[in-house]
Every structure is written in structure tokens, then in C-alpha cells.
Amino acid sequence: MRLGIFRGLGLLAAVAILAGCDSQPATVKLTDTKVDAAAKLAASKAAKAKAAAAVKANELGQIPVLMFHRIIDKPGTTDDRTPQQFRADLERLAREGYVPISAAEMVTGKIDIPAGKHPVVLTFDDSSPSQLTLNEVGVPAPNTAVSILKDVAAKHPGFPAKATFYVTRDMFGKSIREEQAQVLGWLRDNGFDIGNHTRDHVNLRGRSHKEVEEQIGSIAKEIFALSSVRPVSIALPYGNQPSKKEWALHGKLYNHKGAFLAGYTPAPAPFSKAFDPLGIPRIKVMEKKGDCKQFCSEAWLDWLKSNPDMRYTSDGDASTVAYPKFKTPYLRKAFVKWSLPY
Ligand SMILES: [Zn+2]
């Protein structure tokens, strides 16, 4: 009986086709393709989730944003690192599975690193010559931050020389315009990120809106005139926010996606609800001693190492935000489309 009904339907369909209803087979075909595509998508998503689980991906985890200043032989303050210390800082990061990304990539959520790896953001404040000095043919001088970073990167495939330089009018010690254009152009051409650190390195706390705009806008304009780069983020001098925090992000001459502070914890992932673009914490680079017993880089890297579930771990796919299902309440709404809970 059943068979008979189906035969009957088949006959009807055949009649419809013969009757010249040529939209019918087309619709059937389209639906098949859609079902097929949906099934394929579901299968691929399931495979991606499985792969994410295998590397314990956690793209809602925390990211260390390290704050460097000068790299010099005889440190004047605890903000400075010697070339040997800086090299050891980078070697540790490479050894522990960190991959440098820029501040611009972090604040825009473009974190494209291999599965199982952890992002780290290397930031350099104050645009000092110890960070970048070029010789006559445009090669970084030995023992500058850039030179050491490139050296460590060459020894560790998978650890790219990537960093963000927060520039003031000091411009790496260059006062001649052509030389300023050379250093900024060199950073741009070598894949480094250029950020804003205000023109005169002023404390923005308590300043008028006009002063804040002037301090941030004038250096933004200068950076653009010299290199055609528009900074994507700012590092606030002394970590101090202006009276209205938004002033640091948006002005007539600038439009930042993130403002970085000067302390004291790892930063939330940009996909997490805890992420606040108006105040992104950074970590001072220093051993576990004195004021740095708990809240500087050695202490935090130790903590992230012993609390791997708190740390950002990539699933290797920049188009998804993968995390254990349990963490779902922490996902920022804007990223629901990319979410890959497992
Ligand atoms: Zn500074």
C-alpha cells in the first residue's frame, strides 16, 4: 500500500515536470544543496570544536600585555631592562608557547596564531633610541630592542618579531624630519605597530578636553604625516585616564580602538565581556622582587603557567572564538557569530 502511495507521488511529480513546471526540479535541487551545505557546515563545526577541545583552546582567556621602556646596559630605573634581561624575557616567552601579536591586532580581535599557542603583546613606551636606532643602511644597531627581538625571532621559528611602539615627539631621538620619517617608515615596513603616547608625554588626568585632544591629536597628525600610519591604540602616559575616558579613544584627529594602562594584571581577551577598550591593563616587565613580588611579569607569567585554564589559548582559526562551553556567559555579544563553544 505504502509503496503504492509513493509510486503515485512519483507519478504526480513526473507529470508536473512533463507539464512544463520546470521550477519544480530546480527547487528540489536547491533544497538538496542547502541541506547538503547545512550538513557540511555542521560537520565542519563539529570537527573544529573537536580540534579546539584537543588543544584546550580558550579564546576568552587572559593575555599578558608586557610594558617595556628602555633597553640599556645600565638601567636607571626599574622600568629599564638590560639587553641580556630583555633577551631572557623573550626566550622565556618563546619557550612557554607565547606568540607575539601587536596591540592593534589584539584590540581589533585579529588574533591569528597557531593552535595551542598563547598571544603576548610586546609594547614599548616613549620611543627611545635604545628601542630603535638604524645605521646608515637602515639596519638596527646591535642591542637595540628591535635588533634583539629580530635575533630571538630568527632563532625561534613561530616567534615572530612583532611589537607595538608608543611614540611621543621624542621619535627615537631623531629631531630631523627626514630621519623621523626613516625610523617610523622602517617600523611600518617591517611589520611593527605604531601607537600614540601623546606628544609631550603628559599626565592626562584633570586636563581639559581641548588639551587632551591637542596632546593626542597633534602627535597622531605628525605620525601620519611622517609614515601614513594612523595609530590604532594609545598607551596613556603614567597609565592615567582623562576625566572622560572616551577622550583618549576618539578625537578630531584620531580614532583608537583601545587605550592601554600601565599596570598591573594580564588583560581580558577582546572577545570577553571583561574587555574594556577604555582601560586595558598591561604588565611591567620585572623579576619577582620588591614592589614586583606579585604584579609584574615574572610573577604573572608564573601564575599563567600554573593556571593554564585562565590563559588565552588559540584554536588556530582566526575566524572563530573557541572556548569551553562553561565560559559562554563571558562571551561578548558582538562575537556570538564567531563563537565555537565545546
Ligand atoms: Zn611613557
The separation between CA 233 and the C-alpha centre of its own chain, rounded to angstroms, equals 11
- Report pLDDT digits (tens) over 56-110: 999 999 999 999 999 999 999 999 999 999 999 999 999 999 999 999 999 999 9
- Provide the pLDDT confidence category of residue 285 given band limits of 50, 70 and 90: very high
What residues are neighbours of ligand 1 (ion), with CB under 5 Å?
125-126, 237
Is the pLDDT at 174 greater than 60? The verdict is yes
Cα 233 to ligand 1 centre (Å): 14
Centroid of ligand 1 to alpha carbon of 43 (angstroms): 49
Distance 88 CA to ligand 1 centre (A): 23
Between 10 and 339, whose confidence is greater? 339
Helices within the chain (DSSP H only): 2-18, 23-54, 83-95, 103-107, 145-155, 177-189, 209-227, 292-295, 297-306
Q: Say how many Å lie between the CA of residue 171 and the centre of ligand 1.
A: 13
Maximum CA extent, the chain = 95
Res 7: pLDDT: 44
Chain segment 303-338, per-residue pLDDT in tens: 999 999 999 999 999 999 999 999 999 999 999 999
Is residue 35 very low, low, confident or very high in pLDDT (cuts 50, 70, 90)? confident
Give the Å distance between the CA of 325 and the centre of ligand 1. 40
Mean pLDDT score, 173-195: 98
Residue 20 has what pLDDT?
43
pLDDT band at 34 (very low <50, low <70, confident <90, very high): confident
pTM for this model (two decimals): 0.90
Task: Band the pLDDT of 33: cuts 50, 70, 90.
Answer: confident
What average pLDDT does range 29-40 have in this prediction?
79
C-alpha cell at position 167: 611614540
Print burial letters for 284-296: b (CB count within 10 Å at least 16), e (below 16). bbbeeeeebeebb
Range in 26-30, 178-182, 299-303 the model is least confident about: 26-30
List, in order, residues 6 or more apart from 230 with CB less than 8 Å away. 220, 223, 224, 254, 255
Output the CA torsion 147→150→151→154 (10° steps).
-160
Q: By the 8 A CB rule, do 101 and 82 touch? A: no
Distance 237 CA to ligand 1 centre (A): 5
Centre of ligand 1 to C-alpha 238, Å, is 6
Residue 196 C-alpha to ligand 1 middle, in angstroms? 10
Q: Among residues of the chain, what percentage have pLDDT more than 70?
A: 91
pLDDT at 167: 98
What pLDDT does 27 receive? 56
What separation in Å is there between the alpha carbon of 127 and the centre of ligand 1? 9
